[in-house]
Amino acid sequence: MNVNRKTLFVLLACLLGTAGLVVAQDTHKVMVPAYFFPYDNDDAGSHNVGPKWSALINAAAKYGDRLVIIANPDNGPGAGPNVKDTWQFQKYTEAINKVRAHGAKVIGYVFTCYGLTRDTALCAGRTTENVLQDIANWKAWYNVDGIFLDENSSQVEQLGWYKDLDKAIQAKWPDGLIVSNYGTQPAGRYLNRPGAPVMMENTAEHLDANLRDLRNLPPSSVVLIHTTTDGNWKARRNALKNKGVAYLYVTDDGADKNPWDTLPTFLMNLFN
C-alpha cells in the first residue's frame, strides 16, 4: 500500500495522540466511607435506597470497580437477619447488591480497638472472637468483597495479632480486599501485610500541612480526607493523585464532627 508523507504524518499523529490518552487515563480508585443508612423516608432516591446510596449506585454504574464502598450498619455488620425486625438488613442487602451489580466493590467495617488494647466504652470487653465473628457475619450475611479493619495499631507488639486476622480474612476471601486503617503512616513492617493500608485519615488542613510526609507510598495506599470546607477539593484530589495514592476520598463533610454521614456534591468528579 502506497502512503504519502502527509498521510503517514497524520496517521502517526493519531496513534501518538491515542497512546497519550491511554497513558493519561485515570487509574486511581475512590473509596467511600458510607456510614449512613440506605433509606430515607422523605426521599427514597432514584433506586429506592435513599438519595445517598442511589448516588453511589449511579457512580457504580459509571465507574464500576473504580468505586469501593465501606458499609457500616452499626460499627460492624449489625444484627443481620437474626432479629424480629429485619428492615436494616433488608435495605443494606438491597443497596449492597445494587452497587455490586455494576462492578463496584463493597467492604465491611470491623473495628479492632488498636489490637484490643483500648478500653473505651465501645471496646470494653471486646475479644478476638468478637472481631472474627463480625468478619464471618459480613461474609455470611452480605457476601461483601472484603473487610475494612478500623482502629489499627501500628505497635510491634500487636503485629502478630493482625497477621492472624489477615489469615482469617484470606481464608474466607482468597481474593478479598483487606483495608487496614492506621490513620497515619505505620511502622514499615506493618506495610508487609496484605491489602491496602490507610496512610492518612484526617482533615484537609492536616493534609495541606503534612502533604510532604506522603512519600514512598505502597502501591495500594489509601488516603481519606474530610472537612474540605474552603472549596479546594480539586487541589487535594490532584495532590493525592500526583502522590500515586491508589484509593482516595475527599469530602467537605466533617464540620459536624462526623465526616462520613453524607456525600460531597462533587463525588463523581473525584474519579477524574
Asked if pLDDT for residue 9 goes beyond 50, the answer is no
Domains within the chain, CATH numbers bracketed: 27-271 (3.20.20.80)
pLDDT digits (tens, 9 = 90+) for 211-266: 999 999 999 999 999 999 999 999 999 999 999 999 999 999 999 999 999 999 99
SS3 of the chain: CCCCHHHHHHHHHHHHHHHHHHHHCCCCEEEEEECCCCCCCCCCCCCCCHHHHHHHHHHHHHHHHHEEEEECCCCCCCCCCCCCCCHHHHHHHHHHHHHHCCCCEEEEEEECHHHHCCCCCCCCCCCHHHHHHHHHHHHHHHCCCEEEEECCCCCHHHHHHHHHHHHHHHHHCCCCEEEEECCCCCCHHHHHCCCEEEEEEEEHHHHHHHHHHCCCCCCCCEEEEECCCCCCHHHHHHHHHHCCCCEEEECCCCCCCCCCCCCCCCHHHHHC
Which range among 24-33, 34-43, 68-77, 239-248 shows the weakest confidence by mean pLDDT?
A: 24-33
pTM above the 0.85 mark?
Answer: yes
Per-residue pLDDT reduced to its tens digit, 44-66: 999 999 999 999 999 999 999 99
- The reported pLDDT for the residue numbered 135 is 97
